[in-house]
Chain A
């Protein structure tokens, strides 16, 4: 098996010992591996890296840890150890430049596995986004755990030379640096001047001083520059890999493995449905089987006969996902909107959007309903009432709403507690239990999954003993672990 098919072999072949190829735990993956490996190793390396990337995602989403926090890293390392991936645990825990055989072997596996996954994840835009986001998290996490001397040698190995600004320049802008750089003791730090677009994550969150298009960063923020370079490089490489897919897919032994790699745990996207749900039943369904985010949109629509764009998109796609037909959807929105506007205006300005959601207009793409992660990470502005109620509501408003629904105070407290801790999906699960008078603790990843789980109970397909059944909780959690939404962008 020669991985070199990806690239015309103009690069000099990496020969010599492993120590020359892999001088450092952390690498930028600039050159593809050139050695021959067995099919078996190919497969296990691929699966192991998917496990690694997956544990990064789980730590953020299902566990709800703040990204790059100590608990977040701890969970991942623990997970790696329990899965028997000691070499990844080692690479993630303390990146350095040791020279033992174990060090070198770990780096070699890391290198090869990364390139195998490029092949598996280059085929669609969505896959690429997911892969880049996870690989970047991994890169940043590993950089953050590096010791000072290891950082220095990393810079040296990768030819990253930057000169710091002079002391005069620094003292001139010291006042602004103090205001805008979120670190203590700036006096002893060296500052570097880079273009603002090299450190977008710092710009985005206003953690850097900007002047005339330049960002002034201290040494420790260099990870932003590196990550941005790495992101660009990865993006380009994936695009190139995608062009060469045809060549790789001639080898049938690899096709099934590469294609199936992500699907093996990504779950349904709810873009096609079998059941048909009549719109007359929406009022009662919204109470019985809608998650709070959708119930809230439904009620808002009934109340004000209007939703802003974000709300129409989120709710419209959800309705499509539960089985409301295009014709019914048009009727539903028309009936509400025409109470406050002329029919003509609705047909001209809004009907298009409804048909668009069903893939009948514009790019004619059959859009999938939004997952929890997409909804949680959505931007919500003035006048909007979409988004995730646990994320985008003031606690007092949320509480009032829940009280208005007549939940008992214990249930409300549980939901509010989880919300306060930032465990939005867990709060949603508590809401589920409160509505259905159960204690299932289902992991909620998708509003449409919520709906389906609820319908199973309502229709009696799933027998539930009302309240207290510890066993089923554990089992359920595991099953849900398997469902993970693709559309999980980088958290910056």
Chain B
């Protein structure tokens, strides 16, 4: 249980966790594939020790070295960096980044302005729904639009999810390429001083946005109810601030203020008001052609931390690292199964190591599933890499 997590106990438990439960073998295989054609030893690992001491530019050449390093340093947190042209511990000042998984970081704190159940570090089943939607939208886009196949989804350990794309094309994508992919996927822009953060213009909607909207529609009404997006005067105010057209805004305010505070009812009334308004005004609606879609996106679409994706050498927490503040394992999950994840069923180091804990059996089982999920992705990555190498060899023979 999260409530019983005590950071001070980590130093005693971690050595056991690393040697008995951490999937060292699969982990090394995953990293070595991601490091090809450079050896595993050119990959940067970074440790956070007790008392927030950072160790950067570490590296390992094989599983044995990993085991030794983990036992010796007992990191409270394990991060993964880029692949360099040399061993990162040796020539780090003129080291050049050669490859790096394409990564995405989605964190619930970025949803604070819209989620109503929790704030900041807190997370519950209700706001987990945002992550479910985010995972489905991003996963589809990466596969269907960009043709990526080796995609690893990981629970970040507290309040978000990470995604690692290991396809060769993704790993070797340059900075502008990463920036373009991030911007392609990012629809919500603007800071605290902008109320309306989504602008879809008035031309045709891009295929990828339509697909995202179809996904959002599957969850929208439930999320609306769970979060009560429009159930208080302040939340209604937020909605009305997103309406750029003044006449429409005052109509909406008038209609919604006087009715019951059920968010779904209010939403339906809003849609009616909007549709009537568009019909009556006719010509003037270009500016608000996609208003309904824009609002749905602002409330549901994934909020990516684009800087993590754009940076070529941004460190990101490793799968199966323990979150030092919650004690939870960063488990690998299948995107198709995201909606079935129960937060308190995510294994924590305490219940995994304590067989008298009531959660022990279930957490053990979930840990095994997570390792299996990890294996599946790594095996398919190895297959992909084998095919790629074969093709490359053929091409070079032809010339």
Residue of A nearest to B145 (CB): A210
Q: Is the CB of A380 within 8 A of B191?
A: yes
Interface residues on A, range: 35 or more
Q: Is the CB of B209 within 8 A of A382?
A: no
A443 interface residue (CB < 8 Å to B): no
Q: Is the CB of B306 within 8 A of A381?
A: yes
Which A residues, 259 to 287, have Cβ-Cβ distances below 8 Å to chain B? none
Interface residues on B, range: 35 or more
What A residues does B210 contact at CB under 8 A? 179
What A residues does B195 contact at CB under 8 A? 394, 396-397
Q: Is the CB of A211 within 8 A of B144?
A: yes
Extra inter-chain contacts (5) besides given A209-B207, A210-B146, A389-B193, CB under 8 Å: A204-B183, A381-B189, A381-B191, A383-B192, A394-B194
Q: Is the CB of A210 within 8 A of B191?
A: no
Q: Is the CB of A385 within 8 A of B145?
A: no
- Choose, from B197-205, B260-268, B383-391, the stretch at the interface: B197-205
Taken together as a complex, chains A and B put the C-alpha atoms of A336 and B341 apart, in Å, by 39
Q: Is the CB of B191 within 8 A of A392?
A: yes
Known A200-B177, A213-B148; judge A206-B206 contact (CB<8 A): yes
Q: Is the CB of A200 within 8 A of B191?
A: no
B6 interface residue (CB < 8 Å to A): no
B110 interface residue (CB < 8 Å to A): yes
Which of B109, B207, B241 interacts with A383 by CB under 8 Å?
A: B109
Q: Is the CB of B184 within 8 A of A379?
A: no
A143 interface residue (CB < 8 Å to B): no
What A residues does B148 contact at CB under 8 A? 213
What A residues does B208 contact at CB under 8 A? 180, 206, 210
A387 interface residue (CB < 8 Å to B): yes
Which A residues, 377 to 412, have Cβ-Cβ distances below 8 Å to chain B? 379-387, 389, 392-394, 396-398
Q: Is the CB of A201 within 8 A of B180?
A: yes
Known A180-B204, A384-B191; judge A197-B177 contact (CB<8 A): yes
Q: Is the CB of A179 within 8 A of B193?
A: no
Q: Is the CB of B144 within 8 A of A348?
A: no
What A residues does B184 contact at CB under 8 A? 203-204, 206, 210
Q: Is the CB of B52 within 8 A of A385?
A: no
Q: Is the CB of B112 within 8 A of A383?
A: yes
B113 interface residue (CB < 8 Å to A): yes
**What is the minimal beta-carbon distance from B143 to any residue of chain A, in angstroms?**
8
Q: Is the CB of A384 within 8 A of B192?
A: yes
What B residues does A197 contact at CB under 8 A? 169, 173, 177, 180
Taken together as a complex, chains A and B put the C-alpha atoms of A176 and B205 apart, in Å, by 10
Which of A203, A204, A209, A385 interacts with B192 by CB under 8 Å?
A: A385
Cross-chain pairs A/B with CB under 8 angstroms, 6 sampled: A196-B146, A200-B176, A382-B190, A382-B192, A383-B112, A392-B190
A182 interface residue (CB < 8 Å to B): yes
Taken together as a complex, chains A and B put the C-alpha atoms of A214 and B206 apart, in Å, by 15
What B residues does A203 contact at CB under 8 A? 180-181, 183-184
A178 interface residue (CB < 8 Å to B): yes
B23 interface residue (CB < 8 Å to A): no
What A residues does B176 contact at CB under 8 A? 200
What A residues does B37 contact at CB under 8 A? none
The list of the 6 closest CB pairs from A to B, nearest first, reads A213-B147, A384-B191, A212-B147, A380-B191, A200-B180, A393-B193
Which B residues, 68 to 113, have Cβ-Cβ distances below 8 Å to chain A? 109-113
**What is the minimal beta-carbon distance from B44 to any residue of chain A, in angstroms?**
15
Which of A176, A178, A393 interacts with B194 by CB under 8 Å?
A: A393
Residue of A nearest to B93 (CB): A363
Known A206-B209, A393-B193, A394-B196; judge A379-B204 contact (CB<8 A): no
**What is the minimal beta-carbon distance from A96 to any residue of chain B, in angstroms?**
31
Q: Is the CB of A348 within 8 A of B52?
A: yes
A205 interface residue (CB < 8 Å to B): yes
- 0/1 interface trace, chain A 435-465, chain B, CB 8 Å (1 if under): 0000000000000000000000000000000
Taken together as a complex, chains A and B put the C-alpha atoms of A182 and B203 apart, in Å, by 8
B307 interface residue (CB < 8 Å to A): yes
Taken together as a complex, chains A and B put the C-alpha atoms of A392 and B189 apart, in Å, by 9
What B residues does A296 contact at CB under 8 A? 193
B171 interface residue (CB < 8 Å to A): no
What B residues does A386 contact at CB under 8 A? 191
**What is the minimal beta-carbon distance from A218 to any residue of chain B, in angstroms?**
15
Taken together as a complex, chains A and B put the C-alpha atoms of A197 and B147 apart, in Å, by 12
Q: Is the CB of A383 within 8 A of B110?
A: yes
Highest count of chain A CB atoms <10 Å: which of B147, B169, B193, B206: B193
What B residues does A209 contact at CB under 8 A? 207
**What is the minimal beta-carbon distance from B267 to any residue of chain A, in angstroms?**
22
B179 interface residue (CB < 8 Å to A): yes
